[in-house]
Amino acid sequence: MIKTDILIIGAGPTGLFTVFEAGLLKLKCHIIDALPQPGGQCSEIYPKKPIYDIPAYPEILAGDLVDRLMEQIKPFEPGFTLGERAETLDKQEDGSFIVTTNLGTQHHAPVVVIAGGLGSFEPRKPQIPNLDIYETKGVEYMIKDPEVYRDKKVVIAGGGDSALDWSIFLADVASEVHLVHRRNEFRGALDSVEKARELAQVGKIKLHTKAEVKELHGTDTLEAVVVKSIEEGVEPKYVETDYFIPLFGLSPKLGPIGSWGLEIEKNAIKVNNAKDYQTNIPGVFAIGDVNTYEGKLKLILSGFHEAAVMCQYAYQIINPDKRFVMKYTTVGGVEGFDGSKKEAKKEVVQSIV
């Protein structure tokens, strides 16, 4: 059984930053995540997409943000249980918890922090016959590494930011990019719509509007799709392609966490934001996009703030007989569990008398 001070469910940015804030309080953390690597959505869904609202970073790629966070928490030596889903939560007589994963790995901690973003994600799949046959054989629901599509033919379906952004990006990577949308109007940012139309005018993106992908063809792997107009009298188009990427969004699901007895509102966990982001179960906190309260902003920086506040109250649960006096890192420095220490240089003032 794995024992720790704070058990974090979710290895996204908020969960990772929790390790740092807990480390400042000399609290050890262990993280569970169903994904095979840390980073949550930033690693799994859009590692190459830029983020613009992280303090001190005018622009940073989502994957790079995860790398920086991993570097920041390294001195605090967090443990990881990756590729496993937190399945059950059992409260013990002493108030602590045992969390067991779908593979049977047990974790014991006095404090549990749910930082699972919006929960687990399932792609919204188009209703196309034999779609499942080509999954991982040419049909993909997210783009992790754009280089996979280097000099390949790609068909993207969708009308939102993801479909537009990736079509624009892959225009300089793939040999052909087709963008299929069932309407003339797109739902993405205006500059992205304009950029996509400009690329279409010079032939770098082939636009198919008022149309849908209705058929997939191929022997062992995907070889072509059939694009049909939603208007009558228009002949279907047979489009040869190596990849079909439907980007219709992801459906968030709380999964097993939803059956833990937590107070749920609109697929999110209600917390006490006036104090500590604790749930209706004492000792269980929820931070980041997975929680909800009046005035909630689903931003990464909001999750960072919630992590800092939550750790102060978690310390009191773990050390009820100790009084913690907060010190700024500029004063106390950062002392890692690995023996490392970062601190400002102290100037020596010598008397002139």
Q: When comparing pLDDT for 143 and 311, which is higher?
A: 311
Q: Which residue has the tokens 């014991």?
A: 108
Q: What is the mean pLDDT of the chain?
A: 90
**What mean pLDDT do residues 327-350 have?**
75
Answer yes or no: is pLDDT of 353 > 60. Answer: no
Percent of the chain's residues with pLDDT above 90: 69
Residue 352: pLDDT band by 50, 70, 90 thresholds? low
Res 35: pLDDT: 81
8 A C-beta contact, residue 187 and residue 209: no
Res 347: pLDDT: 63
Res 157: pLDDT: 97
Q: Which two tokens stand for residue 125?
A: 């799949």
Answer yes or no: is pLDDT of 187 > 70. Answer: yes
Please say whether the dihedral angle defined by the alpha carbons of residues 6, 8, 11 and 16, taken in this order, is positive or negative.
Answer: negative
Condensed to tens digits (0 to 9), the pLDDT of residues 154-164 reads 999 999 888 99
CA distance 15 to 39: 9
Residue 121: pLDDT band by 50, 70, 90 thresholds? low
In terms of C-beta density within 10 A (0-12 exposed, 13-18 middle, 19 or more buried), how is residue 111 classed? buried
Q: Which two tokens stand for residue 335?
A: 């002392």
- Beta carbons within 8 Å of 66's beta carbon, 6+ residues apart: 13, 16, 38, 39, 42, 43, 47
Give, as one character, the DSSP assignment of residue 189.
Answer: -
Nearest to 104, CA basis, from 162, 32, 14: 32
Phi, psi of 82 (to 5 degrees): -105, 155
CA distance 152 to 245: 13
Res 332: pLDDT: 75
8 A C-beta contact, residue 19 and residue 29: yes
Residue 78 identity (one-letter amino acid): P
**What mean pLDDT do residues 283-306 have?**
94
Q: When comparing pLDDT for 257 and 330, which is higher?
A: 257
Res 49: pLDDT: 81
Residue-level length of the chain: 353
Coil, helix or strand at residue 78: coil
**What mean pLDDT do residues 63-78 have?**
96
Coil, helix or strand at residue 272: strand
Res 252: pLDDT: 66
Coil, helix or strand at residue 150: coil
Res 305: pLDDT: 96
Residue 57 identity (one-letter amino acid): Y
